[in-house]
Chain A
Amino acid sequence: TQLLEQSPQFLSIQEGENLTVYCNSSSVFSSLQWYRQEPGEGPVLLVTVVTGGEVKKLKRLTFQFGDARKDSSLHITAAQPGDTGLYLCAGAKGGSQGNLIFGKGTKLSVKP
């Protein structure tokens, strides 16, 4: 069974703080995606990383794919209450498989 382990599972911080969420696996993925999910809604794609060592930035969010393509991190700078939500990482194995393998998610709460 291919697993993606996310940590921490829960994170409660004050507005303005920085945070990092980790996504780790023993499997190699052809790409890794980060999603954000609000209550009562489906996940929304934030970014896809493909190349080992790749770094992508989306405003205050920085995503990194590990050199071996087994792990990834999401770093948020100066968190804001609007960043509150469930952050999910998902790995794609490539080929003809259509499934994404999701981690359990990190529930982030940013308090004003």
Chain B
Amino acid sequence: GAGVSQTPSNKVTEKGKYVELRCDPISGHTALYWYRQSLGQGPEFLIYFQGTGAADDSGLPNDRFFAVRPEGSVSTLKIQRTERGDSAVYLCASSEGRWSSYNEQFFGPGTRLTVL
């Protein structure tokens, strides 16, 4: 079956603009995660959904960042008033069932966001 897909693959925007990044998880996976990976760094956790609800949003850097998963499948990460420091690769991952240390997270290819 298909893996995790993310669209767009690349997004260039201007400072102050609003952007939406989309993630399609593996079918049937109830857990969905967003990470941000800056150049030369490992992925940094942003938010975790279990079904439709955000179970852990402790990684969102500020209130300009928001994510939704209204039907428990596709998720959208929304960034308002983008800043140059938001430039990074945004990774989405999904896993079966409820979060567990043993659950494998399957990552998408990421969306590279560039804020000019």
Contacts and interface: CB of A to CB of B under 8 A. Distances in A.
Contacts of B56: 96-99
Nearest to B54: A98
B109 A40 contact: yes
B31 A98 contact: yes
A30 B101 contact: yes
B41 interface: yes
Interface in A62-112: 88, 90, 92, 94, 96-105
Nearest to A98: B48
A92 B101 contact: yes
B58 A99 contact: yes
Given A90-B42, A98-B31, A99-B58, A42 B109 contact: yes
A41 B42 CA distance: 13
A31 interface: yes
A11 interface: no
A101 B45 contact: yes
B104 interface: yes
Interface residues of A, number: 26
Nearest to B9: A40
B105 interface: yes
Nearest to B91: A42
Contacts of B79: none
A97 B101 CA distance: 9
Interface in B20-54: 31, 33, 35, 40-45, 48, 50
B70 interface: no
A28 interface: no
Contacts of A96: 55-56, 99
A45 B44 contact: no
B41, B58, B91, B102: most-surrounded residue (chain A CB, <10 A):
B102
Interface string A53-68: 0000000000000000
Given A50-B102, A98-B48, A102-B43, 11 more contacts: A31-B102, A42-B91, A45-B104, A45-B106, A90-B43, A97-B99, A98-B31, A98-B33, A99-B45, A99-B56, A102-B42
7 contacts: A4-B42, A30-B101, A42-B91, A42-B110, A45-B106, A99-B33, A100-B105
